[in-house]
Amino acid sequence: MGQDPRTSAPWLRPPRHLVSPVAVWYWTARAAIGWVVLIVLEVIWMVGFPGSSGWHWALLAITAALAVGHLIVMPRWRYRVHRWEVTPVAVYTQAGWFHQERRIAPLSRLQTVDSERGPIEQLFGLVKVTANTASAAGPLRITGLDRATAQGLVEELTAIAQQTPGDAT
């Protein structure tokens, strides 16, 4: 979400808080699983259909190079992008890496707050917190929070969401 420093048009600053630095390893692990599956499939193909092995090795080398590049660049880039902030009136998140998205929702329109720990996330002690509004297009997801931060955040958001009456549509 960069901006040319020369221009002075109004734009949004990024949210204040970074996620846990451990998230870098979580993203690496998650992406690595996909790459490992792909490489295993290629090896099976190579062993199962021996033939012009030059092509096989070339394909394997390209895949490995792409995987290494992706696993080095993506998690670090993501870590710089993924941010969140809660103000007295709104939740503000930023996510993505190559494509980036910022989401803002007023606290008065929050409906549910979910915290989720998948198998890989549990390995790294991380939590994903999702703040849902009444819109199917608007869940605000914060991935890679450490447990203490996530718990505090969920409590804070739930308490605030409770304060506004009505069904928040």
Partner 1 sequence: MLILLPVQEILKNIPWLVVLVLAGNGSGKGPLWGLAGLVIALSTGTLRWFTTSYQIGAVQVQVRRGLLRRRTLTVPRERVRTVDLTAHVLHRMLGLASITIGTGRTDRKDDRGLKLDGLSVQDAAWLREELLHHSGAAPTGGVAAEDATLPAELARWKPQWIGYGPFTLSGAVTVLAVVGFGFQIVNEDHLNPSRLGPVDAALHQLGSASTPVLVVGLILAAAIVISLASTFGYILAFWNYRLTRQSGTLQVTRGLLTTRVISLDERRLRGVEFSEPLLLRWVKGGRCIAIATGLRVGRGAERGGSMLLPPAPRAVARSVSALILGTAAPVEGKLLEHGPVAHRRRFNRVLLVTVPVMVILLIGWRLGDVPGWPWLAVLVLLGLGMPLAEDRYRSLGHAVVQGRLVVRSGSLVRRRCMLSSEGIIGWNLHQSFFQRRAQVVNLTATTAAGRQAYRMQDLTLAEAVRVAEQARPGLLAPFIVTGPVPAPLEAPIPGPA
**CB closer to partner 1, 50 vs 169:** 169
What's the CA gap between 62 and 72, in Å, rounded? 15
Cβ proximity to partner 1, 38 vs 160, nearer residue: 160
Mark 65-84 with x for binding to partner 1 (rule: CB under 8 A) and - for no binding. Answer: ---------------x----
Residue numbers 96-155 binding partner 1 by CB under 8 A: 98-106, 109, 111-119, 122, 132-138, 140, 145, 148-149, 152-154
Whether 154 contacts 112, CB under 8 Å: no
Distances (CA, A) of 155 to 105, 131, 134, 162: 17, 12, 19, 11
DSSP-derived secondary structure letter, 13: P
Minimum Å distance from CB 73 to partner 1?
13
Using CB under 8 A as the binding rule, the residues of this chain from 30 to 59 that contact partner 1 are none
Burial label, 160 (beta-carbon count in 10 A; 0-12, 13-18, 19+)? middle
Tokens in use for 2? Answer: 């960069």
User: Which spans of this chain sit near partner 1 (rule: CB under 8 A)?
Assistant: 1-5, 7-21, 80, 86-87, 89-90, 92, 98-106, 109, 111-119, 122, 132-138, 140, 145, 148-149, 152-154, 156, 158, 161-162, 164-169
